Structure 1
Amino acid sequence: MGLGIINLGLIALVAFLAGPISHFVHITGFFLTPNSTVLGEGQHPIYIEDTIHCEDVHHYRPANLLFTACEDDKTRRFSWFPPLGSLVPLKAQGSIHVVDPKTMKSSRLAFENFQGPFVTHGIDVVGDPEKSDAVYIYAVNHMPNPAYFEAGEPRDVPKSQSQIELFHYILDSNSTRHVRSINHPLIKTPNDIYAISPVSFYVTNDHFYRDGLMRLIEGVWRPAKWSDIVHVQIADLSKDAPIEASVALTGIWNNNGLGHGRTDNEVVISSAMGGEIFLATRHESNHSISIDTSIAFASSLADNPSYYDDPYRSDSHDASGFLVAGVSQAIRLLANAKDPNALDAVQVWYTTLNSRTGVWEKKVLFEDDGSRIRTASAAVLVPIEPKDGKKLAWLFVTGFMSESMVAVQVELD
């Protein structure tokens, strides 16, 4: 009887662990052999100059411009970048870049009224409601915390003073004006931003623990659904205006990127280690978020999502869909995080809704073994006028340790 109970217990334990272990093996690319997408005849990747270690990118469609935040240096990420556990402080200031998809050129914006450290991560862009030729830019800043490093490294003080920076940018100008910094006790491990207006936004905390063993466990143990999404409301755009914040959503494992969806109220949320995105609705009455459905991918982490709205849709073919980029061999990421010469393979997934079957159809739109682009954390599509009945687009891919943003032409069949 005793052995029987033990055997049943072992069987139950194996059954309990089989699913999470299988998921971990697939998502982290344990057995994956990296491949590189073969481009069409005469095509080659276009490397956008001066886009070093740009973790996020957004397509601001009203002006047909891409916005990104970059480190501008190939070495800084390997010393100080709290999301990867690099915690050797340094004084560094990244910058905001604007990429023109027509010329494939990047313009680095000078800062006005901003002198502090700027360690870049997620961003978002929202139009200025008072000026059609201007936008507001929200950007995560993981600056080292002076209260820790200048005070004898007290245990109860976090190493990073992560906060959100708000900038104002007039289109086609060469600089961006710093409006204010936004910090709040609920903003702990910010990753990505969903802008609603110049005074209202959502931000993901991708972990509950900032560092140490528990953060590592949180990243690999599926039941550790301790991260959250916070809504932030600013009273006005003055430097010292009061800030209110509330938790909008909990219960997602390692929620990471945020994206705008098909409607003004749709929020796209990624679970990085879950390898899936969630389509959700934001509620203006109380700023909460409710999940409507999820879309899981077969391999790779799911980082920052984006939505492609097909301007050439027809009754017979609508190429509108969601993109999500990620590292496809995350099992190597921690070891590679301190190595400037390592290669990190990537995949960009693309999913469209089959209107007849109601099924989300998924495919890898682009992948690389890390030689053309190292890491992928965001991707956007910019449409090209159809040729010979084919729907084409420029796919822009960037990563938190990529030396350049890459653009390739893809067919959306």
Structure 2
Amino acid sequence: MKSSFNLAILVLVAANLYGPVCHWLTVVGVFRAATDIVTTEAQKIHKIEDTMQCEDMHHYQPTGEIFAACEDSLLPRFKWFPPLGNLQGPAQSTGSFHVIDTKTLESRRLTFENFHGPFVTHGLDLVDDPDRQGAIYIYAINHLSNPHYFEKPSAEGIPKAHSQIELFHHVLGSSTVRHVRSISHPLIVTPNDIYAESLHSIYVTNDHFYREGFMRTVEDILPLAKWTNVIHVNVNHIQSNSADTGIDAVVASQGYLNINGLGHGQSQEELLLSSAAGGIMYRARADRSNRTLAVLDEFAFESTIDNPTYYHDPYATPDNDASGYVVGGLLRAVDLRRTHNDPHAQEGVMVWHLRRHFGDTANPEWEKRLLFEDDGSAIRSASTALLLPVEPRDPAAKTAMLFVTGFVSKNIIAVEVPL
């Protein structure tokens, strides 16, 4: 009887694990091979100069420009970038903000005021200046090293990284960006991305529970390690010389596998989250009364995904509306543990488009399509992808310009794709 009971328990556990494990193996690309470049129409790929390792980018609709946080040199990230477990510090590099003209595909670098770095870039978000028309604030992750560790390397229990958030101010059209303040809080541990609800209210993802060590490895390879969270931060003081002054933070949502990117959805109320290793995008809504997030639904993809974006189709018709969600990720994330600190490796990419289905009502409500795939030759890694409309030359052949960037890519790329 006891052996039968144990067997029943084993079968039950195996049944519960089978689905998540199979999905995870698909997501990380265990059964996928990197092949030659694949695009639906094999259009010309444009590489935008001076856009190195721009992990995140945002389209600012009022000016039509893309803002990105980039590195200024390629090699430092392969030694120091805590999100990849690269912890050969201290951090010394200073990245920069870039503004991309989406018509000419040219990038211009903004000059810092009141800031000297280091600045190890990651996620960012933009919010309008409520007091000045034609100006914005930029929230950005900065993966600093911890001076308490590197001054005393033998000290046990002191983390190597001391990541925080920087707040900048930019007058649109100018060539400078001014540092306003730094933001630090004990709940902001492994920050990845930022969602700016307003100037005084932001959400931040912690992409790992463990910063380093054996348990960090377990967290990376265990599909049931749903240990990461989203933090809500009230920035009560916009001006402060102290990183922790006027900062109030709480856990807004938790229980995710490797939560990563945040994005703005189809409405002001819709917040997008992505579980990178889980290959799942969540749609959520904020409850401002208790500073929590309520997940409304979720969508699974066949690769890792990162910073989600939403595309509004200005040429939508009742029978053809390409509005939907765009996410990019890795072709074979399973290789990342081998390639994460190798400047010469290649990580292939996959970019997905999720839109409502039109046509036969017997089909699923949502249509998911692979927009772009590359073996790493055109772009190494994909962390953000966004679509911008192209005026239709043929109503039956709608296209858009796809921009893709990655955390270790040499350039942002742009390619016209069919929708």
Q: TM-score scaled to structure 1, two decimals?
A: 0.95
* Aligned residue type for 2:50: D
Counterpart in 2 of 1:98?
99
Pair 1:108–1:18, CA change in 2 (3 A):
same
Kindly report which structure 2 residues correspond to 1:47-86, keeping only aligned pairs within 5 A, or say none: 47-86=47-86
Secondary structure at 2:318 match in 1: coil
After superposition, the CA RMSD in angstroms is 1.7
Aligned counterparts of 1:200 and 1:2: Cα–Cα separation in 2: 56
Counterpart in 1 of 2:286?
282
* Aligned residue type for 2:418: E
Counterpart in 2 of 1:110?
111
Aligned counterparts of 2:321 and 2:104: Cα–Cα separation in 1: 27
Q: Does 1:314 align with 2:321?
A: no
* Aligned residue type for 2:384: A
Counterpart in 2 of 1:223?
224
Kindly report which structure 2 residues correspond to 1:267-278, keeping only aligned pairs within 5 A, or say none: 267-278=271-282
Q: 1:307–1:322: 8 Å Cα contact kept in structure 2?
A: yes
Tell me the CA shift for residue 239 of structure 1. Answer: 1.5
Aligned counterparts of 1:65 and 1:245: Cα–Cα separation in 2: 31
* Aligned residue type for 2:411: S
Secondary structure at 1:385 match in 2: coil
Pair 1:283–1:4, CA change in 2 (3 A):
closer
1:309-347 deviations in whole A, cap 9, x for unaligned?
A: 112222222111001110120110110011111111110
* Aligned residue type for 1:76: P
Q: Does 1:368 align with 2:374?
A: yes
Secondary structure at 2:224 match in 1: coil
- Structure 2 regions of 5+ residues with no counterpart? none
Q: Does 1:254 align with 2:258?
A: yes
Aligned counterparts of 1:138 and 1:316: Cα–Cα separation in 2: 39
Counterpart in 1 of 2:18?
18
Secondary structure at 2:392 match in 1: strand
Aligned counterparts of 1:128 and 1:140: Cα–Cα separation in 2: 19
Q: Does 1:401 align with 2:405?
A: no
Q: 1:348–1:364: 8 Å Cα contact kept in structure 2?
A: yes
* Count, aligned residues: 410
Aligned counterparts of 1:279 and 1:135: Cα–Cα separation in 2: 26
* Aligned residue type for 2:155: P
- Using the TM superposition, name which of 237-246 and 71-80 deviates more: 237-246
Q: 2:406–2:412: 8 Å Cα contact kept in structure 1?
A: yes
Counterpart in 2 of 1:209?
210
Secondary structure at 1:143 match in 2: strand
* Aligned residue type for 2:402: L
Counterpart in 1 of 2:329?
326
Identity %: 49
Aligned counterparts of 2:317 and 2:367: Cα–Cα separation in 1: 18
Aligned counterparts of 2:15 and 2:236: Cα–Cα separation in 1: 52
Tell me the CA shift for residue 153 of structure 1. Answer: 4.2
Pair 1:156–1:320, CA change in 2 (3 A):
same
Aligned counterparts of 1:307 and 1:329: Cα–Cα separation in 2: 24
- Using the TM superposition, name which of 17-26 and 2-11 deviates more: 2-11
Tell me the CA shift for residue 258 of structure 1. Answer: 0.2
Tell me the CA shift for residue 6 of structure 1. Answer: 5.8
Aligned counterparts of 2:130 and 2:7: Cα–Cα separation in 1: 66
Tell me the CA shift for residue 7 of structure 1. Answer: 4.9
Aligned equivalent of 1:341, options 341, 344, 352: 344
Q: TM-score scaled to structure 2, two decimals?
A: 0.94
Counterpart in 2 of 1:45?
45
1:269-319 deviations in whole A, cap 9, x for unaligned?
A: 00111101000101222221100000111x210111001111222222211
* Aligned residue type for 1:336: T
Pair 1:287–1:12, CA change in 2 (3 A):
closer
Q: 1:265–1:283: 8 Å Cα contact kept in structure 2?
A: no
* Aligned residue type for 2:281: I
Tell me the CA shift for residue 21 of structure 1. Answer: 2.6
Aligned counterparts of 1:268 and 1:361: Cα–Cα separation in 2: 18
Q: 1:310–1:318: 8 Å Cα contact kept in structure 2?
A: yes
1:200-258 deviations in whole A, cap 9, x for unaligned?
A: 21000111111111122122223322111111111132124511111111122211100
Counterpart in 2 of 1:359?
365
Aligned counterparts of 1:274 and 1:325: Cα–Cα separation in 2: 13
Q: Does 1:291 align with 2:295?
A: yes
Pair 1:19–1:168, CA change in 2 (3 A):
same
Aligned counterparts of 1:110 and 1:229: Cα–Cα separation in 2: 31
Pair 1:264–1:187, CA change in 2 (3 A):
same
Secondary structure at 2:133 match in 1: strand
* Aligned residue type for 1:54: C
* Aligned residue type for 1:343: Q
Secondary structure at 2:337 match in 1: helix
- Using the TM superposition, name which of 265-274 and 281-290 deviates more: 281-290
Aligned counterparts of 1:153 and 1:136: Cα–Cα separation in 2: 40
Counterpart in 2 of 1:183?
184
Pair 1:33–1:155, CA change in 2 (3 A):
same
